[in-house]
Copies of this chain bind each other. A is one copy, B any other.
């Protein structure tokens, strides 16, 4: 008896290629391919379409891998999610693991490793490389730089600060006194260890608070 696998991945060629790869593994068979999380959940309405393992990409339109994994954890917890990274940063990986992924394959994974990972996820409930384990330890252990908590109002302000508006204009759009805005700004400069608006803009874009 083979374990069933569903691949959720918006890149069609990669998806089909992965499909053929997995289908050749002796212990696995591909049930079907999906282009995004929404498609997957629709499929799941028929219990016959619920596989043992979901091989999940993260960057997808409509419903991304993180959201989808969260829903699977809630509603279909018997399904094991194995995340597949194309080009992700540490924060995204951590989000994906927190969402309930049982393993995370980086872009330098060999196909033999993929087979091993699928097997381990199915039989032991998890698979993690040293890289990922180290990342997890780092994130737990240290009061990681990213212990920076930004309040909603601050994030709001940052988004405005990435436009060409003056602080006065931002104040009026946020229905606050210009002096309050200056307060937000000063607090952020302090928190983020920056000296001027340019630094703030770069920070915002780097951390995906503002997407240009």
A interface, CB within 8 angstroms of B: 10-14, 16-18, 20-21, 24, 59, 84, 86-87, 105, 107-111, 114, 161-164, 194-199, 201-202, 205-206, 212
Verify B24–A20 contact, CB threshold 8 A: yes
* Shortest 3 CB-CB contacts between residues of A and residues of B: A17-B17, A206-B212, A164-B199
Number of copies: 2
Q: In the complex the two chains form, is A163's CB within 8 Å of B17's CB?
A: no
Contact status A164-B107, CB under 8 Å: no
* Cα–Cα distance between A111 and B33 once the two chains are bound (Å): 13
Residues of B within 8 A of A114 (CB): 13
Please, which residues of chain B bring their CB within 8 A of the CB of A110? 12-13, 16
Interface centre among A10, A13, A16, A86 (most CB of B within 10 A): A13
Complex CA distance for A111 and B15, rounded to whole angstroms: 10
A-B contact pairs, 11 of them (CB 8 A): A11-B86, A11-B107, A12-B110, A13-B109, A14-B14, A17-B18, A20-B20, A59-B87, A164-B196, A205-B212, A206-B212
Tell me which residues across on chain B come within 8 A of A18, comparing CB atoms: 13-14, 17
